[in-house]
Structure 1
Amino acid sequence: MFRIKASIFFSVFVAMLSLMLISPIMPPLIRELGLSESHSGWIISLGSVWMAIMAPIWGRRSDTRGRKPIILTGFIGMGVSCLLFALALYSGLKGWIAGGMLVALLIVTRSMIGLFIPAVLSSAQAYMGDVTEGQERTAGMAIISAANGMGLVFGPAIAGAFTGIGLLWPLYFGTALSFVAFVAALLFIPPAKPIMQERPPKVNPFQSGLRLYLLAGFVTMTAVIGIQVVGGFYFQDMLHLTGQETARMLSVGLMLAGVAMLLVQVVQMKWMKLQPKTMMLVGSLFILLGMLIFLYSGSKAYYYLAFFLFGVGAGMSMPGFMAAASLSVSKEQQGGVAGLIASVQGITAIVTPIVTTTLYQADKSLPFWLIIALSAAIVPVLLFVKGRASAKPSANEGLARE
């Protein structure tokens, strides 16, 4: 059991770290390429379409073909895609490609990254669902959230360190890391028989109970992605920073958020052991508080405090909605629900960058007010739901409700 959970942790950690290597360098890169904030939003959003499309497909395939083969496919695809994305950016910085052709190439290569990352995330989360039950499921999803937190810690830190050499070096590191993760997965992830030999039963995202958790996931991921997309622009404009200073500050801020997520997971697993709904409620309030500090402070120290509080909120909300969704379906549907969760993340990554960068161009505070409004709105929705999620033994017994 330890080997399986450790393998799942490492797989999610590498996938998240690879994503976080990109976040701190995108705002300064976009401006050095002569593109606008809205271009950044479109590149990230349209590049995430494939994540939303492929996440449920990868999840269902992992049910029938096994978790390990899909994870291996994901790491190979991530490595190749990250390299191509770096080469496209390099060509733009050198002036070999510009304008619409450059934007199109960045969208295509970013799309490839979005295509393969959910293969790792969906399969790893489904694997955790395979080997856990009941309250242990919440602890298992906290392990996945801790892996996300580790990625948030080390991704920005590594990106910030590499920016001293060059803004593209984090991407080169991410490429190499993906291939290392492939080898590690090949050697250490235990082989397991597929959960289903035939096509698994589909999971309806609108079925009672599950839709609430997916909505909570959408709100949480809107906050997480929104800060990554507009945070760099906000700090650069508010504090009058250079490109490298912006990348370093965003790296430190996201690192603090990651540390907070890790601390929350340790406390949750060892002492608090809160139910999923409670975790989502508390997490939403912390996210809301972090956003208010972003809006009403004007110094690095308060911005860093806001990042930490935001990390506490995300660290509570993410395992909360993941565990609740996983507990609401049967064993045979773990791949399907994991795919839906990854798909929600992909859809959020499509919508949020476009919306937040467009709002940012209208008024710098609007993206933060959007996150505040969504976080406040989800609280009464969660409060009206009675009971709690519970695991289901089979796919034919319907959906367990909170």
Structure 2
Amino acid sequence: MNKIKGSVFFSVFVAMLGLMLLAPITPSLIRELGLKEIHSGILISTGSIMMAVMAPLWGNISDAKGRKPVILIGLIGMSISTLLLVITFYGGLHHWLSGGLLLFLMIAARSLVGIFIPAILSSSQAYMGDVTEGKERGSGMAIIGAANGLGLVFGPAIAGIFTLIGLLWPLYFGTAIAAVAFIVALLLMPAAKPMIQKGAVKVSPFQPGLRLYLLVALVTMIGVVTIQVIGGFYLQDQLNLPSDQLARVVSFGLMFTGMAMLISQIVQSKWLKWEPRPMIQLGSLIFVASMLVFLFTTHLSFYYLAFFIFGLGAGFMMTGFMAGASLSVSNERQGGVAGLVTAMQGIAAIIAPILSTTLYQMNRYSPMVMIAILTALLGAVMLIGSRKRPDHDAVDRIDRQGTHAGSGGAK
């Protein structure tokens, strides 16, 4: 069990690290290559679209073929596609590639990264669902949440350190660590039989018991991406920060968010061990509180506090929707549901940048107000639902276990 959890944790951490390593250096690379800002947006959006499209497919493949093979494919694919991205950027910086060809190859390589990373994320979440049950499921998903938080913390920090050597060095590191993670998973991750049964029905995102958790995932990730996108603009406009200080301030803020996410996962996995609904209710309250701090302060120290509170809320909500979605389906469909949850991250990464920047141009406070309202409504829906059907999740779980036992428990 420890080998599974440890190798899954490292795989998810590397996948999130790969995403975060690219983001901080993209603007500088676009400027160095003589491209326009819109090309940066296209590059990021392309990867997000591929994640949203491929995540459910990889999840279903992992149900049919097994978790470990798909995770290994994802890691080696991530390493190779990141290397191709490095080669493309290198060719552009040395004027071997330019114009439309350069842009096409950049988009193609970034698309490949977006194709392979969800193979890691969805299959890892499904694997954790395979080896945990009941309240232990929340603790297991907290491990994945902790890996996400660490990736958020160390991604920008590692990128900043390696850029002291050269602009492409963060991607060199990303290529190497993905290859290392492939070896670790190959050697340490136990192989598991495919979970799918003959004639099994694929997971529908609209099925009762699941759709609400997918909505929580979408709203949570829209909030996370929104803060990542407009957080720097907001701090600069609120505090009149010079551009040379802004990157450092925003990096510290996002690091506080990542640290808080990690803390919330540890608290959940070690001590609370709550069911999904209470976790989401608590997370939504903390989410709203963080937005209020963002809106009603003008001091940097309190903005750092807001980033930290925001991370606590995000941590509880992420664990809640991952565990809730996982518990809403049978063991044979863990890959399918994990793929849908990962797809919500990709969809949020498509919607949030456009929505948040449009709102910001109208009024700088409106993105925070949007997050607060959406999250408050979500928390209210979860509270009303838990009062009306307090034993709904438990009954569903008993029904699924009964069905699973009756079918022979094939694994």
State if a TM-score over 0.5 links the two structures: yes
1:331-351 CA-partner distances (Å, limit 9, x unpaired): 111111111111111111222
Query: What displacement does 1:197 show?
Result: 5.7
CA distance, structure 2, for counterparts of residue 306 and residue 93 of structure 1: 39
CA distance, structure 2, for counterparts of residue 257 and residue 37 of structure 1: 27
Match of 1:209 in 2: 209
Match of 2:323 in 1: 323
Structure 1: which amino acid aligns with 2:331?
Answer: K
1:202-243 CA-partner distances (Å, limit 9, x unpaired): 011101121100000000011112222333444455544446
Q: Which moved more, 1:59-68 or 1:15-24?
A: 15-24
Change in Cα spacing, 1:247 to 1:107, as seen in structure 2 (3 Å) is farther
Kept in 2: contact 1:83–1:175 (CA 8 A) = yes
Query: What displacement does 1:74 show?
Result: 0.2
Match of 2:62 in 1: 62
1:149-205 CA-partner distances (Å, limit 9, x unpaired): 121222222122223334432222111111111111111111111112646420111
Change in Cα spacing, 1:231 to 1:93, as seen in structure 2 (3 Å) is farther
1:64-92 CA-partner distances (Å, limit 9, x unpaired): 11111100100111112223334444555
Q: Which moved more, 1:120-129 or 1:362-371?
A: 362-371
Match of 2:271 in 1: 271
Kept in 2: contact 1:47–1:109 (CA 8 A) = no
Change in Cα spacing, 1:236 to 1:114, as seen in structure 2 (3 Å) is farther
Match of 1:287 in 2: 287
Kept in 1: contact 2:225–2:353 (CA 8 A) = yes
Structure 1: which amino acid aligns with 2:348?
Answer: T
CA distance, structure 2, for counterparts of residue 97 and residue 302 of structure 1: 46
Q: Which moved more, 1:92-101 or 1:198-207?
A: 92-101
Match of 1:348 in 2: 348
CA distance, structure 2, for counterparts of residue 75 and residue 173 of structure 1: 14
CA distance, structure 1, for counterparts of residue 237 and residue 106 of structure 2: 25
Kept in 2: contact 1:220–1:317 (CA 8 A) = yes
Match of 2:132 in 1: 132
In the TM superposition, what are the counterparts of 1:1-400 in structure 2 within 5 Å?
Answer: 1-30=1-30, 39-91=39-91, 103-196=103-196, 198=198, 200-235=200-235, 239-242=240-243, 245-386=245-386, 387=390, 389-390=393-394, 391=397, 392-393=400-401, 394=403
CA distance, structure 2, for counterparts of residue 314 and residue 164 of structure 1: 31
Larger radius of gyration: 2
Kept in 2: contact 1:75–1:120 (CA 8 A) = yes
| Partner SS for 1:204 | coil
Task: State the TM-score, normalizing by the size of structure 2.
Answer: 0.87
Structure 2: which amino acid aligns with 1:45?
Answer: S
Match of 2:409 in 1: none
| Partner SS for 1:201 | coil
Query: What displacement does 1:360 show?
Result: 3.6
Match of 1:400 in 2: none
Query: What displacement does 1:385 show?
Result: 0.8
Q: Which moved more, 1:179-188 or 1:156-165?
A: 156-165
Task: State the TM-score, normalizing by the size of structure 1.
Answer: 0.89
Change in Cα spacing, 1:363 to 1:224, as seen in structure 2 (3 Å) is same
CA distance, structure 1, for counterparts of residue 60 and residue 135 of structure 2: 24
Change in Cα spacing, 1:75 to 1:192, as seen in structure 2 (3 Å) is same
CA distance, structure 2, for counterparts of residue 377 and residue 337 of structure 1: 24
CA distance, structure 1, for counterparts of residue 235 and residue 84 of structure 2: 29
CA distance, structure 1, for counterparts of residue 223 and residue 102 of structure 2: 28
1:322-379 CA-partner distances (Å, limit 9, x unpaired): 1011111111111111111111111112222232233344444333333223212212
Aligned alpha-carbon RMSD (Å): 2.6
Query: What displacement does 1:276 show?
Result: 0.9
Change in Cα spacing, 1:252 to 1:284, as seen in structure 2 (3 Å) is same
Query: What displacement does 1:287 show?
Result: 2.0
Aligned residues: 396
Kept in 2: contact 1:64–1:198 (CA 8 A) = no
| Partner SS for 2:164 | coil
CA distance, structure 1, for counterparts of residue 97 and residue 352 of structure 2: 27
| Partner SS for 1:384 | helix
CA distance, structure 2, for counterparts of residue 149 and residue 90 of structure 1: 30
* Runs of at least 5 residues in structure 1 that lack an aligned partner in the other structure: 398-402
* Runs of at least 5 residues in structure 2 that lack an aligned partner in the other structure: 407-411
CA distance, structure 2, for counterparts of residue 103 and residue 6 of structure 1: 38
- The sequence identity of aligned pairs, in percent, is 58
| Partner SS for 1:48 | helix
CA distance, structure 1, for counterparts of residue 152 and residue 346 of structure 2: 18
Change in Cα spacing, 1:209 to 1:259, as seen in structure 2 (3 Å) is same
Kept in 2: contact 1:281–1:382 (CA 8 A) = yes
Kept in 2: contact 1:160–1:248 (CA 8 A) = no
